[in-house]
Amino acid sequence: MMRDTLSNAMKEALKAKDSRRLSTVRLIQTAVKDRDIAHRGVGKDPVTDDEILQILQKMIKQREESAKIYDEGGRAELAAQEREEIEIIRSFMPEQMSDEAVRAACEAVIAEIGAQGLRDMGKVIGVLKERYAGQMDFAKASGLVKELLK
């Protein structure tokens, strides 16, 4: 379970005195707890492993955007820090699918559900998210599905 993995990673980072990893794992756990609290407020169950993977993807995207801004502002040390955090966060995710594998998965789901046009795009993305959570960039997959359904 992802929660156990994160908890163990935090203990290991503490023992190893790895402050960057420790702070990044704490950020992840805080984001998960925040989502748990939000769910509790509306009577939902605590977040699942798939939702944790979505949180991790969002955190990576935020850091990529920050690193880009830091690069543009000439703050290389801050951009490097963001990239270190990205690598640490990625270490908790399944291996990312290659572009070819993403294309093949999109084509397979389109064929499987008989998607006919852009109106079926939501169904296709829904199935992809269900099957490949944490393994693909859904923004890129969405563009690819749109292209395939035209």
CATH number at 2-90:
1.10.1510.10
Q: How many CB atoms lie within 10 A of CB 2?
A: 20
Q: Which fold has domain 99-149?
A: Arc Repressor Mutant, subunit A (1.10.10)
- Of 70 and 50, the structure prediction assigns the larger pLDDT to 70
Q: What is the pLDDT of residue 56?
A: 93
- Highest mean predicted confidence (pLDDT) among 13-22, 44-53, 116-125: 13-22
Any residues with CB less than 8 A from the CB of 40 and at least 6 apart, and which?
46
Which residue type occupies 12? E
CB atoms near residue 62 (< 10 Å): 14
Question: What is the reported pTM?
Answer: 0.74
More confident residue, 60 or 95: 60
- pLDDT grade for 42, boundaries at 50, 70 and 90: confident
DSSP letter at 117 equals S
Q: Which two tokens stand for residue 32?
A: 């998960």
Q: Above 80 in pLDDT, residue 103? A: yes
Alpha carbon distance 42, 40 (integer Å): 5
Domain ranges of the chain: 2-90, 99-149
